[in-house]
Amino acid sequence: MAQPQTEANKKWQEKNKERTRYLNERSRTRGFIRNKATIEDLKELQELINEQLDKNVKAD
């Protein structure tokens, strides 16, 4: 990546720490699911996702 772009990225990340953290965690989660998760992991994640969806649907 060109130096000015790298500097602009660093500046944006410093200004948007929460968004950067969110994007990094989301990326790591997706990578785990795609590349390393076992069937047991996927079942547990599915349960957690369903619980969150139920909470959010009830809140709406």
| Nearest residue to 29 via CA among 57, 56, 48 | 48
Q: Residue 60: is its pLDDT beyond 80? A: no
User: In which band, very low, low, confident or very high, does the pLDDT at 48 lie, cut at 50, 70 and 90?
Assistant: very high
User: In which band, very low, low, confident or very high, does the pLDDT at 57 lie, cut at 50, 70 and 90?
Assistant: confident
Instruction: Calculate mean pLDDT across residues 9-31.
Output: 97
Cα–chain center distance at 5: 23
Q: Residue 17: is its pLDDT beyond 80? A: yes
Which residues touch 1 (CB under 8 Å, ≥6 apart)? 9
Instruction: Calculate mean pLDDT across residues 18-41.
Output: 98
Q: Residue 1: is its pLDDT beyond 80? A: no
